[in-house]
Structures are given as structure tokens and as C-alpha cells.
A and B are shown apart, each in its own frame.
Chain A
């Protein structure tokens, strides 16, 4: 028996997200009294792979193959399923990110395993296997029982701390190779943004809404984000107007994020926007309307005009930085 975890890599490197997943899986394994096994797919060197042991992976299995450079839902699923069977996994843990959303449902059918996605805590109980997850886009939570012998969990991003529990393990190179007949998607081009902090990775996010009034007023907001090492985001009307790019739209139908700190500037806090940001640890609201619903979600607030307040915040941050 084991808990199998799939920490994804990005160009051969793991991220905080990968370590959160392994930390989570090793805690679940502890609850069950079994080992956490990590499976890595793609080209990752030994030094990088061994980092997974720092977060509690008791076994590390690496599947390397030139044909596995980009995600193929079907081929990756069959590889993970094969490893899951070979280690008799009773729980399989993936991230609730783009890759997890591609693989977890296919695995569910392949392994005849019930799935709970977007889980944000350790299981409530393991004898009767119950997990706690967000539903209705964060307007509520549910205790969900998974009834099958094999269970699949996708972990909500930024919902679990990394925990170091170092183990000494040898890295096992797996002989499992992808079935060429399953590698049917062909990536023809990759366009990557560079130099921009990814919203889903950012610890701090500075976000602007209609209260910013026009596309020309974003200067101080961007400067504040730079000073904080933060990502920039916006509400839906802003991306619909074309003031900011669509990939910055956070909210129910845009990106769903959970940073440590979220600045909602000139955002009234419509229920659809809150659905995308409500898992943030701290929310700061700046709005001219003292009755705006965003203040109900926020821990800190300033009632006033963003155009006047932002420069004051930037000035103060510069001062703090220079110390």
C-alpha cells in the first residue's frame, strides 16, 4: 500500500507547488501508516529529484523519455496508472492545476477510483475516507466521502504548507515506457511569457477594477506590484474593456487564485469576483464606496479613491524598501 503523488516539473525543475503536493501526500501516507511514493515524468536530474525526499517522499520513481516532453493526457495517464498499480497505491495525489485537471479524471476511470478535486485540507478521516473541498466556487465547502478502494485527490493550490520531513531514498529509474499509440497529441509551438510573475504562483497579487477608471491609470498599481514582487491581476470588466490582458482576469470564470495577500483596488467585490479570490489569506480593499461588498471579505480597508491612495502606498513602500 502507498500514497502515490505526481509532482509535475517545469523544464526539469520543481516548484513550490510540487513540494506542497509531496508534503501533503506524505502527511496522508502517515495517517494511513504507509509510504509516500513520488512519480516524476520527463527529464529531471537526480539532484532535483532528490529534493522530493526532503518533503517526505519515501520512494522516488522517475520515468524519462524524449517523447514525454509535453503533456499528453492519455499517455501520461496510462504511465501514472501503471505505477499506481505497481506500488498498490490506495491514494493518488495530484495538483488541482492545469495538469492535474487533465490527468486526474482520466485516472479515475482507468483505476476505477473516486475523485475529489480542489481539496484544501488533510482528510477529515481515513477509516471512512472523507475529504473537505470547496464547492459553488468557494461560496461553500463540502465533506465528501470517497467510497472506492483507490482514491484520487487533487489538492487546491496554495492550500497546504510545505513541510520538511527528510528521508534518504535512492532514485529509481523506471523501465515503464509510454505506449506510442497513445501519444496522439502533437505540440507544434510553445509561447511562453517571460519576466512576468505567474498569478497562480504569486504570494502577493495587486489587482485593479473598474475604479481604476481607465487603461492609462495602471502605472502606480504596476509599480506597487514591482516593489512587492507581486503579480498583477484585474476584475472581469477591466479585461473585457481591454484595459488589461485577459490572462490577468481573476474571478469565477477567470483565474482562481489563493495568494497570501490580495489587494483589491477599485473592485466592488461582486460575488463572481470573490469566488476567484476568497481563498486568499489576507484581502486588502481600496474603494470609494464604503458599502462595497469587498469590505466584507477584506481584513484591511481604505475608503477612498485609488488614484489618490496608490501613490501614497507606493511612496511608503519605497521608503520601507530603502531601509
Chain B
């Protein structure tokens, strides 16, 4: 069984974002780039599944659509433990572009389980996994919080409003994973970092794909009104304010 984990290269979650060129472009000055947190959890779960030989996972591959500047992030995934990597050499215009490029690669490379994080922390689209599944005409399961392999078949738990559902699905399929899929992201050890240097990254040249959407410009959130303080000794006054001023209950 072969697992593919799709990874996004995003600003570290503590980044305070700023925009330049008439608010049209992210100011990348000083930004630390990391593996998208949900993708990192997906990778961790894939590696956990591979660790247990009874699951029969032969390889864990990571895939990224982006320019060579993202290679440090790909190397990080290899250092954490992925066996090899795919990079499609283009700066994608939108999620559709990413999924379409990955689908092209899947014409020559076959995987049994494809894992995608529920969203990337930059555009918060939650779209690449589902799009890829539709391109590949295979099942998808979204909001997956647990993935096991039993008797060669995936056993999944997904979050629904106010609960969970257990389900089975035939291979190949796409799992769009969220919190819970792995406890903590796995951290690269020194041995992994050394090994990552020589692990293969297969670079594919992109297909011509039209963009469906375009970000025209960015806006910063409007600053909220200054905080109104209530004295701790007289905390009950807060309830009066919420009731009579904010009128929230």
C-alpha cells in the first residue's frame, strides 16, 4: 500500500501578515515557512501507519505544488520521515490549479490513500482534497479524525455535527483530515535530517491550467472598539452591560 500526503507551504501560524503592492501581495519579509499544520498531522499519521508493519504500508510520499523556494519545507517533510517527494514546478493561482496539477501527476503515479489537511492556514479554502478526489473519480471522506487499516482496508472516523461516524471505504480514496488524526506532529530527528538530504524529490513540469479565481486585493480586519473595563470587585456589572448595552442576552 502506498500513501500520498499533500502538503502546503504556509507562513508560520504566529506570523502577523502584512500586504504590499496596493494590498495585492503578501509581504514575505521575515516570514518563516512551515508545513501547513493539518498536513503535518496527516504526514504524522501516515508515518504511524507505516511504522506498524502489519498495516502493509510500503511508502509514504509527500506532494507539493510550488516553486523551488518551497524545497526547504519539502525537505522538512522528508526529515520527519517521508520516503520521497513530488513537486510540481509552478506557482499555483488557486486551489483548482493545485488539485488539477496533482491529478495530472496521478496519471503516472498511483497511490492507495491520499491524505490532505482540512485546510491550509493561508487561504482557508478546504478544497484541494475534495477536488483531487473528483478529478480522480474516487471516494473522499472529509473531516476525518481517525484513520486505521484493518485487514488491508481503511477504517475511518469522521466528525459530524455533535458526534462521530465510523465508516469504511474502498481503496483508492482521499481522506481530508483534521484535528485528532494524530496527537502531536512528529518532529525531525538528526538522523532524519541527514537522511532527508539524499531522499529523491521528483520534479514535474506543470500543465497549462486556467485559473478559476483571482485574489484582487487583501484587507486588514477593522480594529475593534477599545475594551471597556469592569472592576473585578464589581464583576456583576459586566452582566448589566452585556444585557443592557450590548444586548446579547
Contacts and interface: CB of A to CB of B under 8 A. Distances in A.
Contacts of B32: none
Contact of B134 (A105, A200, A283, A315): A105
Interface string A300-316: 11111100110011011
A123 to B, nearest CB: 13
B139 A105 contact: no
- Using C-beta atoms within 8 Å of the partner chain, give the interface range for chain A: 35 or more
A146 B210 CA distance: 12
Interface string A116-135: 11100000000000101111
B127 A104 contact: yes
A254 interface: yes
Contact of A106 (B134, B165, B217, B224): B134
A136 B170 CA distance: 34
B220 interface: yes
Contact of A186 (B15, B161, B167, B239): B167
Given A147-B212, A192-B162, A304 B235 contact: yes
Interface in B194-218: 211-218
Nearest to A139: B17
B218 A142 contact: yes
Contacts of A109: 96, 99, 131, 134-135
B122 interface: yes
B36 to A, nearest CB: 10
B165 A187 contact: yes
B229 A108 contact: no
A214 interface: no
A140 B220 contact: yes
Contacts of A272: 13-14
Contacts of A103: 130
B66 interface: no
B53 interface: no
Contact of A70 (B165, B173, B215, B243): B165
A198 interface: yes
A139 B219 CA distance: 9
Contact of A187 (B13, B167, B224): B167
Main SS at interface, chain B? mixed
A121 B95 CA distance: 21
Given A143-B215, A300-B228, A303-B232, A278 B124 contact: no
- Using C-beta atoms within 8 Å of the partner chain, give the interface range for chain B: 35 or more
Nearest to B122: A136
B236 interface: yes
B128 interface: yes
A71 to B, nearest CB: 8
Contact of B236 (A97, A297, A313): A313
A110 B165 contact: no
Contact of A117 (B125, B219, B221): B125
Nearest to A239: B179
B216 A115 contact: no
Greatest chain A CB density within 10 A among B14, B126, B143, B216 is at B126
B168 A186 contact: yes
A300 B217 contact: no
A165 B133 CA distance: 38
Contacts of B95: 105, 115
A272 B126 CA distance: 18
B124 A134 contact: yes
B169 interface: yes
A34 interface: no
Contact of B131 (A108, A187, A200, A305): A108
A38 interface: no
A139 to B, nearest CB: 5
A139 B221 CA distance: 7
Given A135-B122, A136-B121, A299-B225, A190 B165 contact: yes
Given A101-B176, A186-B167, A302-B231, 8 more contacts: A71-B160, A73-B130, A101-B130, A102-B141, A105-B129, A106-B131, A284-B242, A308-B232
10 contacts: A104-B127, A108-B96, A136-B11, A145-B216, A184-B170, A190-B165, A246-B180, A281-B248, A304-B235, A308-B232
Complex A-B, nearest 10 residue pairs according to Cβ-Cβ distance, in ascending order: A105-B130, A114-B212, A304-B232, A316-B236, A102-B142, A192-B163, A109-B134, A105-B127, A312-B235, A189-B166
